[in-house]
Chains A and B, each alone.
Chain A
Amino acid sequence: MLVMDAVRWRLVGLGLVGALLAAWASYGPFLWATCCHETVTAQNQVWLLASQLAWVGLLLVTYARDPAGPMWKLVLAYLAARGAWAIGYISSDATLWDVAWTVEQQLFRWAYGAVLVHVALAFPTGRLRTRFDRIFVRFVYAYVLGLSAIHALFFDSLQTGSIPPVRNVLVVWPNNELASNIEQVAFFGVPILAAITLWRLGRRWKVATPAGRRALGPVVVALPVSLTILSLDRVADASNQMWIVDAIDNLGILQLHGLILPGGFLLGTLRTRLARGSIADLAVELRAGIPVGGLQPVLRRVLRDRTLELAFPAPDGDGFVRVDGRPFEPSALGGNRVTTTLRRGNEALALLAHDADLEAEDPELIRAVGSMAELALANERLSAQVRAQLAEVRASRARIVEAADAERRRIERDLHDGAQQRLLALATRLQTAKATAQGAGDLVDEATTELEAAVSEVRELARGLHPQILTDLGLGPALEALAERAAIPVEVRAPDRRYPVAVETAAYFLVSEALTNVARHAEATGAVVTVSHQDDRLTVEIADDGSGGADVRRGTGLRGLVDRVAASGGSLTIDSQLGKGTAVRAAFPL
């Protein structure tokens, strides 16, 4: 049993109404014996029927896409307005028919043109976007309906001798010459309104996002083509260039032309509808498993929006972060982009920044994608939050190291300029006193020796905290000085130039600690320190000819090096095969 839901029933009903309107528009006139004018043959009307059925197709598709939206109502209005033409062929003596004929033929005969402008500018959502468009469409309605009504006041249909006679019930001052002039004026405005419509459509195309252009494309082609054929036919007709009229007629262009417009709208609508079809692609990708960070490209593909971006609530609940942990600023979105929050229950799962047309075209699509990818989104959110926290921890670790380095420099200064000066002053005074206080000489000498030892200790302590030569002369000379005090021969190859303070400090202490390690564990007879830089990174290598076999997991020496380098945003590799020496290589970003 096929279960039909309300929407499907309404679709069937709408299809029937549409088919009836189409049939009425094309074959209604044949219901009367007086029909028809020689050009209105059953054969010719096939094309009108085809065109109208194409509009019915558009009606059903737009209804299925967005039953709550206004688009399908506009299409229905067009079909109804177009059907009004057939009433012109009615033949009856009843007064009621006179009223019906007047309303349809005199008031609404040209209304379908206004509806067409409305449909073209509101496509594909059925909503007009700009103030200008809203005012313009209202004006077109007023122009068409207003001039028709004014015309009706003067047009005496009985004077035209139409068979059968039909009475315009609205005529107040019968004056067919004036009525004809009014008609002329009305027609004069049509090309201008058509041009404005094309201009607005062109503008929409210009500012449209890729998703918007996909829908708008067929319409942007169809409307000018249709208008060109129509105006060519009319102009040729008016200027008696019958060969053009014949050519258009014989080639079937005029007949086919009725299909161009509904075809364009239908294709445009279906192209947005294709997006929903691609939800199946998402299902396939989700089943295959999406690696962390891979959801954004998948969603871009599935939703056909190359500008789409995915962000997640920040771990501290303030703002949003991307999957790689970098902050995301929704207010910085440009162009025709909006955000949609995807939720699981009350909890915000992710923020989708996307083409505004995406939502306008198909409001359900994003929600459907969101609920389908819920698990993958939750995964990525977790990853994004962890990465954001990691970035924060990295930054704070770098800050701690920086603060520690600054603190070392401060203590070094205090030792040099404070304690050392005091001790020295004291020692000097003692020596001066020795010259006057005889006998106390030996005691004073001893005290001086003690003080000198203290001064030396302070000096070395200060130096260990922060070598002044690093601040004064940079990495190369500082490493050279380090090599001079090393326990084994150390060769330094370093360019004589300055680097950022943080990098120089990190590199210096890396070499210092590495050389201490070499002296302590490597049983080496020599080491080479090489400093080089390429573009944006400084590379430091400490290679010894010792026993090798060093392991980061054992002992804290190497672990400390790894931490130091990582804190400066650098990376460290250790190459240490048994019997082949150890090479510690670090790269620091400049």
Chain B
Amino acid sequence: MSDRRPISVVLADDALLLREALAGALSAAGFSILGQAAEPNRLLELVDRHRPDVVVLDVRMPPTHTTEGLEAAGRIRRSHPTIGILVLSQYVETRYAVDLVRANPAGIGYLLKERVSRVEQLADAVRRVDAGETVIDPEVVGRLLGRPRAHSPLDELTPREREVLAHMAEGRSNGGIAELLVLDAKTVEGHVSRIFAKLMLEPATEDHRRVLAVLTYLRGK
């Protein structure tokens, strides 16, 4: 983030109005929009040509308006592993998000579409994906954490620990969590190791490995 070169973005969404609005908002936030596509084939073409830092794409695209976005994300992942991908989705269902990041959580994000109205949240997600972090929408994480459970080690967590866990699930690093919660990094580290102990998880050092461990734990029964 420190270098002054603007992050370059290719956009894909079949709703013209929203795509234009998004492009406008991201440009205004200092991103460089290299191209826009309305459907997956055009998107892949643009990605091949422009090699953007990040691709922002809608989960629903022609021709069937189901999961073309997810498939396109997978293809870009395979052909250009270094390009960050941010999927915008209408679905809170956790399965989509977990499936998306499962193979390789580095530099990939799943954000609910309504976040785009808050440009700072969208911009933050794009920057994090560009930096190789994982981004999981807070509402999706909320659904994972909020699921009613009969007897669960989650009940043992303090409210603060739950908060830290939620941010871990969103893909944030210790530094990021500390910044958000206005704590110092040492304290966050303490919380994290206590959470891992209570949930009986193997401590993971890499941030995106940690996301996967937490998501898998939360998705489990």
Known: A416-B60, A425-B21, A432-B24. A484 touches B94 (CB 8 A): yes
Q: Is B148 interfacial (CB 8 A cutoff)?
A: yes
Q: Is A472 interfacial (CB 8 A cutoff)?
A: yes
Q: Given the complex of chains A and B, what is the CA–CA distance between A467 and B95 in angstroms?
A: 13
Q: Kindly report which residue of chain B lies nearest to residue A491, judged by CB atoms.
A: B221
Most chain B beta-carbon neighbours within 10 Å: one of A469, A487, A488 = A469
Q: Is B31 interfacial (CB 8 A cutoff)?
A: no
Q: Given the complex of chains A and B, what is the CA–CA distance between A471 and B90 in angstroms?
A: 14
Do B28 and A435 touch (CB < 8 A)? yes
Question: A485's contact among B21, B67, B143, by CB below 8 Å, is which?
Answer: B143
**Residue numbers in A under 8 Å from B34 (CB-CB):** none
Do A421 and B15 touch (CB < 8 A)? yes
Q: Given the complex of chains A and B, what is the CA–CA distance between A425 and B20 in angstroms?
A: 8
Most chain B beta-carbon neighbours within 10 Å: one of A429, A463, A468, A481 = A468
Do B147 and A424 touch (CB < 8 A)? no
Taken residue by residue from 5 to 29, chain B's Cβ proximity to chain A (1 for < 8 Å, 0 otherwise) reads as: 0000000001101101110110010
**Residue numbers in B under 8 Å from A429 (CB-CB):** 21, 24
| 9-residue interface stretch from B36-44, B48-56, B114-122, B160-168 | B114-122
Do A424 and B143 touch (CB < 8 A)? no
Most chain B beta-carbon neighbours within 10 Å: one of A413, A430, A484 = A484
Known: A424-B114, A462-B90, A484-B144. A489 touches B150 (CB 8 A): yes
Do A428 and B24 touch (CB < 8 A)? yes
Q: Is B198 interfacial (CB 8 A cutoff)?
A: no
**Residue numbers in A under 8 Å from B28 (CB-CB):** 432, 435
Taken residue by residue from 194 to 221, chain B's Cβ proximity to chain A (1 for < 8 Å, 0 otherwise) reads as: 0000000000000000000000000001
**Residue numbers in A under 8 Å from B221 (CB-CB):** 491
Q: Kindly report which residue of chain B lies nearest to residue A415, judged by CB atoms.
A: B90
Q: Is B93 interfacial (CB 8 A cutoff)?
A: yes
Do A477 and B18 touch (CB < 8 A)? no
Do A469 and B95 touch (CB < 8 A)? yes
Do B119 and A417 touch (CB < 8 A)? no
How far in angstroms is the closest Cβ of chain B from A417? 7
**Residue numbers in A under 8 Å from B147 (CB-CB):** 483-484, 486, 489
* Interface size of B in residues (CB-CB distance below 8 Å): 34
**Residue numbers in B under 8 Å from A413 (CB-CB):** 65
Do A425 and B149 touch (CB < 8 A)? no
Do B25 and A424 touch (CB < 8 A)? no
Do B94 and A452 touch (CB < 8 A)? no
Do B143 and A484 touch (CB < 8 A)? yes
Do A432 and B119 touch (CB < 8 A)? yes
Known: A420-B113, A421-B18, A452-B114. A468 touches B148 (CB 8 A): no
Question: A481's contact among B24, B95, B113, B150, by CB below 8 Å, is which?
Answer: B95
Known: A459-B114, A489-B148. A468 touches B95 (CB 8 A): no
B99-119, CB < 8 A from A? 113-114, 116-119
How far in angstroms is the closest Cβ of chain B from A549? 23
Taken residue by residue from 135 to 175, chain B's Cβ proximity to chain A (1 for < 8 Å, 0 otherwise) reads as: 00000000110011110000000000000000000000000
Most chain A beta-carbon neighbours within 10 Å: one of B18, B25, B113 = B18
The A-B contact count (CB < 8 A) is 104
Do B25 and A431 touch (CB < 8 A)? yes
Q: Is A372 interfacial (CB 8 A cutoff)?
A: no
Do A428 and B21 touch (CB < 8 A)? yes
Q: Is B79 interfacial (CB 8 A cutoff)?
A: no
Do A472 and B66 touch (CB < 8 A)? yes
**Residue numbers in B under 8 Å from A469 (CB-CB):** 91, 93, 95-96
**Residue numbers in B under 8 Å from A481 (CB-CB):** 93-95
Do B148 and A432 touch (CB < 8 A)? no
Q: Given the complex of chains A and B, what is the CA–CA distance between A555 and B144 in angstroms?
A: 33
Q: Is A559 interfacial (CB 8 A cutoff)?
A: no
Do B117 and A424 touch (CB < 8 A)? yes
Do B15 and A428 touch (CB < 8 A)? no
Q: Given the complex of chains A and B, what is the CA–CA distance between A412 and B221 in angstroms?
A: 30
**Residue numbers in A under 8 Å from B143 (CB-CB):** 484-485
Most chain A beta-carbon neighbours within 10 Å: one of B17, B25, B90, B150 = B90
Q: Kindly report which residue of chain A lies nearest to residue B119, judged by CB atoms.
A: A431
A-B contacts, 29 listed (Cβ < 8 Å):
A416-B60, A416-B90, A417-B14, A420-B90, A421-B18, A424-B18, A424-B113, A424-B117, A425-B18, A427-B116, A429-B24, A430-B117, A431-B119, A448-B117, A451-B117, A452-B117, A463-B91, A463-B92, A469-B95, A480-B95, A481-B93, A483-B147, A484-B94, A484-B143, A484-B147, A487-B148, A490-B148, A491-B221, A526-B150
The 8 A-B pairs at the shortest CB distance, nearest first, are namely A427-B117, A421-B15, A428-B21, A425-B17, A425-B21, A489-B148, A481-B93, A425-B18
B residues with a Cβ closer than 8 A to A are 14-15, 17-18, 20-22, 24-25, 28, 60, 65-67, 90-96, 113-114, 116-119, 143-144, 147-150, 221
Q: Besides A484-B94, A525-B150, 12 other CB < 8 A contacts?
A: A422-B18, A425-B17, A425-B20, A426-B21, A428-B24, A432-B24, A435-B28, A455-B114, A463-B91, A472-B96, A481-B95, A484-B93
